[in-house]
């Protein structure tokens, strides 16, 4: 009886193993978490075999690439992390392009009644009412770094920095607000638009933070198919999708 069960298990395992297309044969793309919905839809329009996309905070992705992760293409949410890899010589020279732009917004749960105009000295701490401000890690994650820059230039960072819920990527911050775990959060406008559980309280003026740019580049050792996909993302079809989600396609 146990011999038969073991054989069955082995057969099942082999079947599943053989069946699941191995990611080594497919193109692997590392992309910032905030790109999720838009990039998934853009990639859906790409002919098979479709690339495999791994989403996380740009800082995590960059460190993984540094450790030899098999990504062919990297799309970061800020220039710093792309620079980081470039300095380490891990990018294919001449393949770096600025792909998209974005905007930073202050959000609250959908049913929240908070009104808070964004201007210098705004009463952010009071508005938090004892809760925490959800944002990406303000020292590593691009969305968090942009948020910190904006709050610093508005003069309110020092008052709220001890009341922050720092997350590994911006989408976790988004989820915290959507689930009413945090009364307020700072995310990209594109994130707020895909999450029906939040409402936008205000937009941070572009002058309060460095321009939000999503650079894209091929990683050293990239599969040849990567170039096609990279070109596709800069093409009109993909740009239309990005625009739909609220990104600003750059040249």
Count of residues engaged in binding another protein, rule: CB under 8 A: 41
In the sheet that 52-56 helps form, which strands lie side by side, from edge to edge?
Answer: 52-56, 28-32, 73-75, 213-218, 97-101, 248-249
The CB-of-70 to another protein minimum distance in angstroms stands at 5
Mark out the alpha helices in 67-153 (DSSP H runs): 79-87, 124-128, 142-153
- Considering the rule CB under 8 A, would residue 196 count as an interface residue with another protein? yes
The CB-of-249 to another protein minimum distance in angstroms stands at 22
DSSP string, 176-194: HHHTTSSSEEEEEHHHHHH
Nearest to 59 by CA among 142, 147, 178: 142
Structure tokens at 117: 């105009």
Q: Which is nearer to another protein, 5 or 162 (CB)?
A: 5
Q: Which of 132, 140, 171, 239 binds another protein (CB under 8 A)?
A: 171
Q: Which is nearer to another protein, 1 or 162 (CB)?
A: 1
The CB-of-102 to another protein minimum distance in angstroms stands at 16
- Considering the rule CB under 8 A, would residue 67 count as an interface residue with another protein? yes
Angle, helices 170-178/142-153, rounded to nearest 10 degrees: 70
Chain positions contacting another protein, by CB under 8 A: 1-2, 5, 9, 12-13, 16-17, 19-24, 26, 28, 33, 36-37, 52-56, 60, 64, 67-70, 169, 171-172, 174-175, 178, 191, 194-197
């Amino acid at each position: 009886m146990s011999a038969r069960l073991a054989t069955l298990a082995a057969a099942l395992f082999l079947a599943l193993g053989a069946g699941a297309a191995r990611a080594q044969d497919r193109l692997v793309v590392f992309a910032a978490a905030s790109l999720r919905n838009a990039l998934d839809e853009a990639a859906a329009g790409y002919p098979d075999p479709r690339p495999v996309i791994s989403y996380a905070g740009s800082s995590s992705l960059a460190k993984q690439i540094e450790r030899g992760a098999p990504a062919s293409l990297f799309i970061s949410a800020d220039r710093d992390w792309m620079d980081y890899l470039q300095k380490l010589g891990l990018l294919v020279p001449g393949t770096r392009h600025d792909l998209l732009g974005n905007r930073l917004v202050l959000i609250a749960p959908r049913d929240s009644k908070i009104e808070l105009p964004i201007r210098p000295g705004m009463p952010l701490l009071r508005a938090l009412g004892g809760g925490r401000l959800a944002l990406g890690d303000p020292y590593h994650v691009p969305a968090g770094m942009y948020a910190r820059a904006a709050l610093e230039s508005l003069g309110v960072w020092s008052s709220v920095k001890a009341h922050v819920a720092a997350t590994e990527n911006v989408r976790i911050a988004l989820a915290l607000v959507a689930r009413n775990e945090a009364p307020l959060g700072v995310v990209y406008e594109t994130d707020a638009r895909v999450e029906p559980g939040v409402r936008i309280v205000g937009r941070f003026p572009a002058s309060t933070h460095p321009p939000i740019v999503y650079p894209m580049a091929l990683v050293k050792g990239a599969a040849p198919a990567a170039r096609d996909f990279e070109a596709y993302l800069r093409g009109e079809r993909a740009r239309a999708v990005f625009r739909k989600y609220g990104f600003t396609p750059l040249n």
